[in-house]
Structure 1
Amino acid sequence: MSVPPPSGIYVPAVLFFDENEDLDPKAIKQHVLRLAEGGVTGILVQGSNGEAQHLSHEERKQAIQLTRKILDENGFKDVIVIAGTGAQSTRETIKLCQDAHSAGAAFALVLTPSTWPPQMSVDNILRFHRAVADASPIPTMVYNFPVVTAGQDLDSDVIGKLAEHPNIVGCKLSCGNIGKLHRLTSRFHRNQFAVFAGRSDLLLQGLLSQSAGCIAASVNLVPKLHTKLYRLFEEGKLEEAMQLQAKLGHGDWAAGKLGGIGGIKAVVSEAFQYGTPMVRGPLKPVDGKSFVGNDYFKTVSELIELERA
């Protein structure tokens, strides 16, 4: 029986490119170190914010290796690396899990294939995830994100069946369904199957329902605030935690209105002075100058100032 990742705050890290859309190791290092110094428990490489589908197999391995090396060489050996290994075939997904293991990842986060959604019956979904878990050299986790899987939204019955597999150790719920999260946490202890909220705006609500924490995009912007909220919950300071959760909820909503992945990179570049907003097509870069006078950016900026304080 494989062991789930420890509870805490995880970040689906954006991956920085230079003006030629090649990997930018310097900016990647600056970002990884700022996240680690912010107290995150782990870094998800090639989650949806990491543009996994835009990378070659070699680039995916390179990004994992680079992240693990940066952490190890800078005193963050305990920070966990999870790799997104979703692909459109079982065969390729298994290969990506094997690559992730050789590159230094401790866990694999697996999306359900989405090219042929009419054929992805419950039986086919179960068969896919179990086959990947059977063959993966590292424990796997189920990634439920209907937005990027052609609307497929795995319910608690399906995820619960997958949780019984000895090498499937957790899930990330980017569907935002707190009822689903609670149904799973009430069936499985987080030392057996770790259920992570996939969004910052329900971090505390998830923790109150015995989640293992979160794997959320806004951690790219304010890792310290997320780890502070987690600490407040652990200390039983729920009123203070709820006040901070309200701020994170507003900030998470605002961040989502600034241009997706390109918007997150643009905010990081503007606020922390590293990296560029460059993304790989068909995504579109976001010009930080467009944030002038933008109320959503003002909300995010206020959150970042709180992070700095």
Structure 2
Amino acid sequence: MAATAVYEAAPRPPPAGIYVPAVLFFTPDDELDLAAISEHVLRLARGGVTGILVQGSNGEAQHLSHDERSRAIRHTRKTLDDAGFCHVRIMAGTGAQSTRETRTLCEEAKDAGAEWALVLTPSTWVPAMSPDAIIRFHREVAQGSPIPTLIYNFPVVTAGIDLDSDVLGTLAQETNIVGVKLSCGQIGKLSRLTTQNPLSKFSPFIGRADVLLPSLQAGSAGGILALANIAPRACVKLFKSFKNGDLEEARKLQDLFVHADWAITKLGGIGGVKAIVTRGFGYGSGLVRGPLTPASEQKLQQTAGVKWLDELVALEKSLPDVEPGQ
């Protein structure tokens, strides 16, 4: 077992706000499309997001080599810095199926420029993942990680493993565990966490745009939202409207998000996000790595609810950019 990390100051959660689990783009020969990735990263930054999650589920982390994962983080950080968006933070997905590899990925993420690691619970051996085993895994990863960790609770990609508020509350007491992304979308769970842990120590972020406003009303620190790949400005506008007390505007945006988020689900998630981004903003492609399948133009035309995504893209284009340093 690797030595426990030593911290110069108390680890802190990511700042509150909107984060984007950014999709990656690939060339026809299945290599990273660095030009398209840069264009996407800069559109997100100009949308006013607080940070970018590299290698979340939407970033196809499990389909990348260690070298590709590090390159994607490093490229994202350099793209932001070169354009003057040094204030935009980077989180990195570091989930793997063993404690050892997960800790290695945390180390590599730090070296590449990430400030926080988002850690999935291993799911190859589901019967072995008792609450005690899950707690031990996340503790050992956090204790060996050179950057603070957040827990990634997403039952869809962990073979149904869904961490409850008791397990998460126990892990919230660990020094280097500073938050959770709740892609389960459970507001009651989020409320139990926010009422028992100060946001300055442990920050829950919602992982679904269709419950962003309810999560903010329940005390969340913000959202890490796939839909923000399409509409970062609109997601930030909802967050700011809520913080400024404009609930009417926030509810209007939330009404659009519930339909748009559902349409993305029906399009197939990652492939659908990429297809809408490419069609709406003119860069990248809908290419994904197998076994995933892209969302074809025919599927876009045949999927009910795509009109909501078209409305969201139109709204996004009507909103102003954020300049570097703002």
Q: Does 1:191 align with 2:203?
A: no
Q: Is the 8 A contact 2:178 2:203 kept in 1?
A: yes
Offset of residue 289 of structure 1: 4.3
Give the corresponding residue for 2:313. Answer: 304
For residue 210 of structure 1, report the CA deviation from its aligned partner. 0.9
State how 1:192-271 maps to structure 2 within 5 Å.
Answer: 192-271=201-280
Alpha-carbon distance in 2 for matches of 1:273, 1:308: 12
Report SS of the residue matched to 1:292: helix
- CA displacement at 1:255 relative to structure 2: 1.5
CA contact (8 A) 2:97 2:122 kept: yes
Is residue 238–residue 253 contact of structure 2 (8 Å, CA) maintained in 1? yes
Q: Does 1:286 align with 2:298?
A: no
* Equivalence for 2:90: 81
- Which of 45, 59, 62 does residue 71 from structure 2 map onto? 62
Given residue 15 of structure 2, which amino acid in structure 1 is its aligned partner?
A: P
CA distance in 1, matches of 2:28, 2:36: 12
- Give the TM-score normalised by structure 1: 0.98
Question: What CA distance in whole angstroms lies between the structure 1 residues aligned with 2:276 and 2:36?
Answer: 14
Do the aligned partners of 2:259 and 2:305 also contact (CA within 8 Å) in 1? no
Of the three residues 148, 154, 160, the one matched with 2:163 is 154
Gap regions ≥5 residues in structure 1 = none
Secondary structure of 1:257's match?
Answer: helix
Query: How many Å apart are 1:156 and its aligned residue?
Result: 0.3
Percent identical among aligned pairs is 60
Provide the residue aligned with 1:135 in structure 2: 144
Partner of 1:123: 132
Deviations 1:219-262 (CA, angstroms, capped at 9, x unpaired) = 00000110000110111111221111111111111121112211
Question: Partners in 2 of 1:150 and 1:19 — Cα distance?
Answer: 31
Offset at residue 21 of structure 1 (A): 1.1
Partner of 2:122: 113
Maintained 8 Å contact 1:267/1:288: no
CA distance in 1, matches of 2:248, 2:283: 35
Higher mean alpha-carbon deviation, 38-47 vs 293-302, is at 293-302
User: d(CA) in 2 for partners of 1:226 and 1:265?
Assistant: 17
Aligned to 1:171: 180
Q: Does 1:37 align with 2:46?
A: yes
1:134-192: per-residue Cα shift (whole Å, max 9, x none)?
00000000000001001000000000000000100000000010000000000112111
Superposition misfits of 4+ residues, deviation over 4 angstroms: none
Q: Which amino acid aligns with 2:247?
A: L
Quick one: distance in 2 between partners of 1:229 and 1:17?
A: 31
Displacement after TM superposition at 1:292 (Å):
2.5
Counterparts of 2:298 and 2:278, CA distance in 1: 11
- Structure 1 position 280, deviation (Å): 0.5
SS at match of 1:166: coil
Cα distance in 2 for residues equivalent to 1:253 and 1:260: 10
TM-score normalised by the chain length of structure 2: 0.93
**C-alpha distance in 1 between matches for 2:182 and 2:42:** 26
Q: Deviations over 1:83-119 (max 9, x none)?
A: 0000000000000000000000000000000000100
CA contact (8 A) 2:267 2:299 kept: no
- Distance in 1 between residues matched to 2:252 and 2:141, nearest whole Å: 41
Question: Contact 1:196–1:212 at 8 Å: present in 2 too?
Answer: yes
1:49: Cα distance to partner?
0.3
Distance 1:22 1:76 in 2: 26
Superposition CA RMSD, Å: 0.9
